[in-house]
C-alpha cells in the first residue's frame, strides 16, 4: 500500500509540474502576443426584429498567431483569466473598440453602438468603470455608443464588487447587457438587481426554435424582459424559421450567422456605411 501511495504522489507531482509548465507557456505566449499586437476585433452585426435593420455590433476578440493562424477566444480568454492577463487584454479590447468607434464617427459622421464583452475579473480594478468612462471621454464618444456585455454567472459571483461599478456605468449612460441568459443560475433575482438595458437569450434557447417547448421558454423570457423594459436579443440565429419564431415570440433584436457572422473591421465599416445612408 505504501508503494502505491508513493507512486501516486509522484504521479500527482508530475501532473502538477506539467500543469504549471503549461500555464507558464500560455502566460508567456499571451504576454508576447500582447506586446506584438496580435489581437484584433471582429464585429458581429445585430439587427432589429421585424425591420431586420442593422442596429449595432458585438466586438469579438481574435488572436492572430503567426505560427497557428486565428485562435478562438474560447481557447485563450479562460487562460488569460487564469493568469490575470485578462486585465491587460480587456483594457486593450476596450481601447480597440473605442478607436474603431472614433474612426467611424470621423469617417462616416456617425456610428451604431458596439458591445464589448467584459470578464468579471476586470472589475477587480476598483477604477474599472472610471477608466472606461475616461476612455470614452478621451475618444469623444457619447456613452450610449459603447455597451458592455456581462454574463450572469460573472455578476452573481462578484455582486459586491461588480454591482456598484455597473450602476456607475449605467448612470453615465453606458447600456449593460446580461449575456448568455438562460444557462446560468438565479436569473430572476439577477434581472431585478442588475442595472441592465438588455438580456441576450443564449443560443441554446434559440437553436431548438420553433419547437413548442423551446418556444414556451423564449416567450416567458420575453414577457419578463418586456415588463422590465429590456431589449431582448436572440443569439445564435442560424435559420429563417428560428428568426421568424424569435420575432413572433417577442425578441427585439436578432444576432446570428443567418443575418451576419463576425466581420473584419473593413467589412463591418461597409455594412455600417450602407445602414447610415438609409
Q: Could you tell me the CA-to-CA distances from 230 to 118, 195, 226, 250 in Å, in that order?
A: 19, 10, 6, 11
Cβ neighbours, 10 Å, residue 36: 11
Beta bridge partners of 59: 43, 116
Q: Is 149 in the site for Ca ion (CB under 5 A)?
A: yes
Beta carbon nearer to ligand C2E, 64 or 276: 64
Q: Could you tell me which residues come within 8 angstroms of residue 265 by beta carbon, excluding any fewer than 6 positions away? A: 40, 41, 42, 43, 100
Residue 74 partner contact from ligand C2E, Ca ion, none using kind-dependent CB cut-offs of 5 to 8 Å? ligand C2E
Q: Could you tell me which residues come within 8 angstroms of residue 138 by beta carbon, excluding any fewer than 6 positions away? A: 98
Residue 61 partner contact from ligand C2E, Ca ion, none using kind-dependent CB cut-offs of 5 to 8 Å? ligand C2E
Q: Which residues contact ligand C2E by CB under 6 A?
A: 44, 60-61, 72-74, 77, 93, 117, 119, 179-180, 236-238, 256-257, 262
Beta carbon nearer to Ca ion, 15 or 204: 204
Q: How far apart are CA 168 and CA 11, in angstroms?
A: 49
Q: How far apart are CA 103 and CA 108, in angstroms?
A: 8
Residue 77 partner contact from ligand C2E, Ca ion, none using kind-dependent CB cut-offs of 5 to 8 Å? ligand C2E
128: nearest Cα among 101, 158, 102, 161: 161
The enclosing H or E element of 36 equals helix 2-36
Beta carbon nearer to Ca ion, 29 or 49: 49
- Which residue is at the shortest CB distance from ligand C2E? 256
Residue 252 partner contact from Ca ion, ligand C2E, none using kind-dependent CB cut-offs of 5 to 8 Å? none
Listed ranges 30-38, 77-85, 227-235, 264-272: which one lies at the site for Ca ion (CB under 5 A): 227-235
Q: The cell 418556444 sits on which residue?
A: 215
Residue 73 partner contact from ligand C2E, Ca ion, none using kind-dependent CB cut-offs of 5 to 8 Å? ligand C2E
Q: How far is the CB of 104 from ligand C2E (least distance, A)?
A: 18
Beta carbon nearer to ligand C2E, 43 or 104: 43
Q: Looking at 42, 152, 179, 247, which residue binds Ca ion (CB under 5 A)?
A: 179
44: nearest Cα among 115, 143, 145, 142: 115
Beta carbon nearer to Ca ion, 57 or 128: 57
Q: What is the DSSP letter of 263?
A: B
Q: How far is the CB of 117 from Ca ion (least distance, A)?
A: 5
Q: Looking at 117, 122, 165, 269, which residue binds Ca ion (CB under 5 A)?
A: 117
Q: How far apart are CA 92 and CA 260, in angstroms?
A: 25
* Positions that interact with Ca ion (CB under 5 A): 117, 149, 179-180, 235
Amino acid at each position: 500500500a505504501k508503494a502505491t501511495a508513493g507512486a501516486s504522489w509522484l504521479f500527482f507531482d508530475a501532473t502538477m509540474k506539467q500543469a504549471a509548465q503549461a500555464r507558464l507557456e500560455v502566460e508567456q505566449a499571451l504576454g508576447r502576443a500582447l506586446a506584438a499586437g496580435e489581437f484584433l476585433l471582429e464585429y458581429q452585426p445585430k439587427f432589429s426584429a421585424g425591420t431586420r435593420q442593422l442596429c449595432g455590433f458585438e466586438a469579438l476578440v481574435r488572436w492572430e498567431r503567426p505560427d497557428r493562424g486565428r485562435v478562438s477566444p474560447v481557447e485563450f480568454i479562460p487562460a488569460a483569466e487564469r493568469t490575470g492577463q485578462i486585465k491587460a487584454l480587456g483594457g486593450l479590447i476596450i481601447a480597440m473598440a473605442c478607436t474603431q468607434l472614433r474612426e467611424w464617427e470621423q469617417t462616416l459622421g456617425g456610428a451604431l453602438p458596439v458591445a464589448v464583452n467584459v470578464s468579471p475579473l476586470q472589475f477587480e480594478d476598483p477604477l474599472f468603470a472610471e477608466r472606461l468612462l475616461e476612455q470614452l471621454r478621451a475618444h469623444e464618444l457619447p456613452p450610449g455608443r459603447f455597451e458592455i456585455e456581462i454574463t450572469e454567472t460573472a455578476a452573481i459571483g462578484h455582486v459586491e464588487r461588480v454591482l456598484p461599478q455597473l450602476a456607475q456605468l449605467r448612470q453615465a449612460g453606458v447600456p449593460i447587457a446580461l449575456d448568455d441568459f438562460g444557462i446560468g443560475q438565479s436569473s430572476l433575482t439577477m434581472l431585478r438587481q442588475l442595472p441592465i438595458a438588455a438580456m441576450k437569450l443564449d443560443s441554446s434557447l434559440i437553436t431548438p426554435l420553433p419547437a413548442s417547448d423551446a418556444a414556451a421558454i423564449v416567450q416567458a423570457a420575453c414577457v419578463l424582459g418586456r415588463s422590465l423594459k429590456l431589449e431582448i436579443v436572440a443569439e445564435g440565429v442560424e435559420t429563417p424559421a428560428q428568426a421568424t419564431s424569435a420575432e413572433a415570440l417577442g425578441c427585439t433584436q436578432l444576432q446570428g450567422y443567418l443575418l451576419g457572422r463576425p466581420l473584419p473591421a473593413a467589412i463591418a465599416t461597409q455594412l455600417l456605411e450602407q445602414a447610415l445612408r438609409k
